[in-house]
Structure 1
């Protein structure tokens, strides 16, 4: 046993189990982890090797004799009949037969239905009515010739495989003996992972997967490569969450069945997870609308009444391309079905986006052999924590920046609350503890917002999330790793002939283009590279050079077109495809290179030039300026014709730049180079 396991056994005796035992038996028996560990907790709660070996054998025997394998159902049915009494472990679901006014149980693996069950069990364990739960059932058999259509099988007792009670004080007191990192490691071992094998950020992502189990109405999204264990927590670890596989569902099943007047999955489970988001479809047209309503408010209207529920929503799915490619050609919500893919209102309700590409594919060494809490103990603890809230935990130390709107604030607070419940359930934490959680919460919500900005444009321009320290009033900004931050246009003076412009590329997305010009002795040749086969881009560069040849003397008499060669390379930094709007920026770059004067620091030149020398104004000015800001620009040069569009730009965004206007291409050169 390592030190942490010894400590865990000391303070939580009888509540822990060695996870390699689960693994060994799990490989042979197709039962959920919480069923297995319920039995292991009963028979192997000791650190004595002999006792453990004996307990494992007992559990194996119980599973061998009582767990019903679907292919052996007939044999078990025969045993119940021949012996008269028999105990089985199976998943039981219940329906109300209104014609007979009785509740009838259906056994998943045993394959029998129509078994009468006492209403007492149904009242006690409502989940029997929705999808069913795993139970240990004592059954007997009595065949009555007179009673037509009545099942001869009877349930004499039914025990759900879950902990009957949980002492929260035991957890709060026990938590005091563990450091923060130790406690995180214990939680990860409890879900079967070996924390020593993971980087710090991966541990936090694995913790974030548990937030929907402790936080009410929490909407989480995780997209990433296959094989990273995205749905494992929701399927195996908690008996309080349900994984909707395949994605197709109905409003009646998920929310409320108006015919039977029964609430759907969101009212009966703590967490509803959708596996493979690409396949989510509703048979009802209003399905997505009701889902959006529910995700925003925790309530939905069906028929004449409004229903409330507290289930969290989780969306997991696969990203088939690399993240770089996806960011350049589309957005990170692309795997969602078409009905949702461009619905900003739907994605705006996501409280967090876990970057699945940062989690490694699961390998055998990532699963732990050490001690962790019995899965059922963890899931009951998580269930109890749903009744508490720590959403105000950050207020003591921090304020949120002004770029966060109401939905962002709710999302960040919920994430902070969820992580505090998991890591500091007893409510004992310091300023640094909260800062670490707050930064993590802001990054995940900003990831959502960055994608909304890609889909919805200017409506979501305010993505620069920050928090302010209440004592020092320092404002700290957070960035999203895969967006690369605003480092595209560097600080400081550039080189002569090097210039940035922003325009709409072939893919329909707006991107940054860097023009690099080299001037060497020669005979007036002009070479251009980096444009590929894009005809329109080539034409716009040709237009620039023709204008330069004809009008360079208007800029400076020292520019020579006949004794120099000009080499120009255009780089599509965002990978959005080439653009036809390069002519004016290329002309300024040629003049800058010819004069040996660099443009002003962090400058972007906007606008374009026609063959006749007419200046063309900027389309979608607000969106273009947003990309300028995100890329690190501080100065922007605009054609005078774009002045009429300034009211379309949010004042907060417009105020971020030093803006100059130009009236002619030559005027643009003087202003770009800072020559009056």
Structure 2
């Protein structure tokens, strides 16, 4: 172990995990996100760091379903009561006044799964959308006009940590800035020693901004193999990754026929991966709703008005030259036609130049102590609701009177996000040097908003590529 391993283990004794790539091969054949794997490794590791492989294998066999599991048959045919840790999807059936669930990995469809009212009323977490938790299933045979169904009779949400954000913020003081950035990268499941430079590390952790800053909208274009899909699909259960398919206004915002809210109200951030392959239905309606939402966090569909703090992340590929630079000067030409509107693009706050990051090779594989992904995701989620950082950023920045409001908003939100990630211990402007805020919060924020500005100017002559002169107050 090196010094950083010791520091992480000392200051996060219950929240850290020692990661050895070989250990995680035990999950081969199991479609599990990182926050579940880390929790299981921690659960079956003793104080000396020894993994109880046999115990973990038994737990996986008994309580983690896989596609070939006979759980559905055991519940239906043999009348067993089965308790499992799994991902399931909750749906509201308005027409039949029922709450239903499906488990895709077990081929249990929504018309086969039922959640009794007494369970739904006891657990407010049973909202529409994807949920991870420990559930107990039983089979209820048909009776009268009522069809048979698999019922979810008990539920415990997967939330193993009661997060103490104040402790996390205080402990940050025990690490230097370079150490802390390495802690963040380790917690994203990568090896900080595999990066080429400090600048590259700072760019890499920019992918965490939408997890900590509410209503932040970002775009990242990068070649394949730079790990963007993995980050947005595995780091947090509070994020939702859309990969291909068709996006509708009903799916994203509100379904009029089912009278149910869409993805945007159920998650901290929505990421659209392989954006060039995604299709958009009823484009005019969806684009109008999206413009309003990205501007204000509010949407209106039919007579229903909704609000959310979720941000939107667009992830796409970009062709590069032999010199590892974009082939085309206009980056946004790689986005679908749906996103070619300058008015829509102007509502995105920042752009990540993913081609400046390394392809994922073995030297980026994490080995050592890191924060448990589940704990880390809860911390990121908790930091979203702390408004101190935005106020501190605003107090440290001098903004010209004639500055465009969208530019000011974008730079403030990005700077606030960097404060949360890099300097979470800061509780007032006096707690951070102006030099640190300028170099690690304000400058990266201006750079990322500046790229959006320049790219919009290239496709629409009515826009200027110049940002307002936002700088540190003297």
Separation in 1 of the partners of 2:192 and 2:391? Answer: 29
Alignment counterpart, residue 93 of structure 2, candidates 90, 97, 113: 97
What SS does the aligned partner of 1:68 have?
A: coil
Task: Work out whether residues 116 and 151 of structure 2, in 8 Å CA contact, stay in contact via their aligned partners in 1.
Answer: no
Alignment of 1:576-655 (within 5 A): none
What RMSD over aligned residues (CA atoms) do the two structures have, in Å? 2.6
Alignment of 1:189-338 (within 5 A): 189-198=186-195, 199-284=197-282, 285-322=284-321, 329-338=328-337
Q: Which one scores higher on RCO, CA 8 angstroms, separation ≥ 6?
A: 2
Alignment counterpart, residue 168 of structure 1, candidates 165, 169, 187: 165
Separation in 1 of the partners of 2:245 and 2:151? Answer: 35
Task: Work out whether residues 326 and 332 of structure 1, in 8 Å CA contact, stay in contact via their aligned partners in 2.
Answer: no
Distance 1:197-1:290 versus aligned 2 partners, 3 A rule? same
Task: Work out whether residues 275 and 316 of structure 1, in 8 Å CA contact, stay in contact via their aligned partners in 2.
Answer: yes
| Shift of residue 218, structure 1, vs aligned partner | 0.4
Alignment counterpart, residue 378 of structure 1, candidates 376, 379, 398: 376
Task: Work out whether residues 265 and 308 of structure 2, in 8 Å CA contact, stay in contact via their aligned partners in 1.
Answer: yes
Give 1:13's aligned residue. Answer: 13
| Shift of residue 83, structure 1, vs aligned partner | 7.2
Separation in 2 of the partners of 1:167 and 1:120? Answer: 31
| Shift of residue 13, structure 1, vs aligned partner | 1.0
Separation in 2 of the partners of 1:229 and 1:30? Answer: 18
| Shift of residue 119, structure 1, vs aligned partner | 3.7
Separation in 1 of the partners of 2:57 and 2:434? Answer: 48
Separation in 1 of the partners of 2:95 and 2:39? Answer: 37
Separation in 1 of the partners of 2:293 and 2:55? Answer: 46
Task: Work out whether residues 77 and 110 of structure 1, in 8 Å CA contact, stay in contact via their aligned partners in 2.
Answer: no
Give 2:448's aligned residue. Answer: 444
Calculate the TM-score normalised by the size of structure 1: 0.64
| Shift of residue 241, structure 1, vs aligned partner | 0.5
Q: Please give the per-residue CA displacement for 1:336-381, whole angstroms capped at 9, x wherever unaligned.
A: 112322x111111111100011011111220211111111111111
Give 1:2's aligned residue. Answer: 2
Distance 1:200-1:25 versus aligned 2 partners, 3 A rule? farther
Alignment of 1:454-533 (within 5 A): 454-457=458-461, 459-463=462-466, 466-471=469-474
What SS does the aligned partner of 2:413 have?
A: helix
Distance 1:10-1:63 versus aligned 2 partners, 3 A rule? same
Separation in 2 of the partners of 1:84 and 1:337? Answer: 49
Alignment of 1:655-674 (within 5 A): none
What SS does the aligned partner of 2:378 have?
A: helix
Task: Work out whether residues 92 and 260 of structure 2, in 8 Å CA contact, stay in contact via their aligned partners in 1.
Answer: no
What SS does the aligned partner of 1:88 have?
A: strand
Structure 2, unpaired ranges of 5+: none
Distance 1:263-1:149 versus aligned 2 partners, 3 A rule? same
Give 1:644's aligned residue. Answer: none
Asked if 1:61 corresponds to 2:65, the answer is no
| Shift of residue 282, structure 1, vs aligned partner | 2.1
Task: Work out whether residues 398 and 470 of structure 1, in 8 Å CA contact, stay in contact via their aligned partners in 2.
Answer: yes
Separation in 2 of the partners of 1:203 and 1:272? Answer: 24
| Shift of residue 111, structure 1, vs aligned partner | 1.4
| Shift of residue 213, structure 1, vs aligned partner | 0.8
Alignment counterpart, residue 435 of structure 1, candidates 433, 438, 441: 438
Task: Work out whether residues 454 and 465 of structure 2, in 8 Å CA contact, stay in contact via their aligned partners in 1.
Answer: no
What SS does the aligned partner of 1:421 have?
A: helix
What SS does the aligned partner of 1:293 have?
A: helix
What SS does the aligned partner of 1:301 have?
A: strand
Task: Work out whether residues 102 and 108 of structure 2, in 8 Å CA contact, stay in contact via their aligned partners in 1.
Answer: yes
Distance 1:310-1:316 versus aligned 2 partners, 3 A rule? same
Structure 1, unpaired ranges of 5+: 472-676
Give 2:30's aligned residue. Answer: 29
Separation in 2 of the partners of 1:123 and 1:332? Answer: 49
Distance 1:194-1:245 versus aligned 2 partners, 3 A rule? same
Separation in 1 of the partners of 2:130 and 2:169? Answer: 32
Give 1:409's aligned residue. Answer: 408
Task: Work out whether residues 404 and 468 of structure 2, in 8 Å CA contact, stay in contact via their aligned partners in 1.
Answer: no
Distance 1:112-1:45 versus aligned 2 partners, 3 A rule? same
Separation in 2 of the partners of 1:264 and 1:274? Answer: 15
Task: Work out whether residues 127 and 268 of structure 1, in 8 Å CA contact, stay in contact via their aligned partners in 2.
Answer: no
Q: Please give the per-residue CA displacement for 1:181-236, whole angstroms capped at 9, x wherever unaligned.
A: 21221111111011121121221122111111111110010001111111222211
Give 1:477's aligned residue. Answer: none
Separation in 2 of the partners of 1:85 and 1:325? Answer: 56
Task: Work out whether residues 317 and 334 of structure 2, in 8 Å CA contact, stay in contact via their aligned partners in 1.
Answer: yes
Distance 1:422-1:125 versus aligned 2 partners, 3 A rule? farther
Separation in 2 of the partners of 1:306 and 1:297? Answer: 12
Task: Work out whether residues 247 and 275 of structure 1, in 8 Å CA contact, stay in contact via their aligned partners in 2.
Answer: no
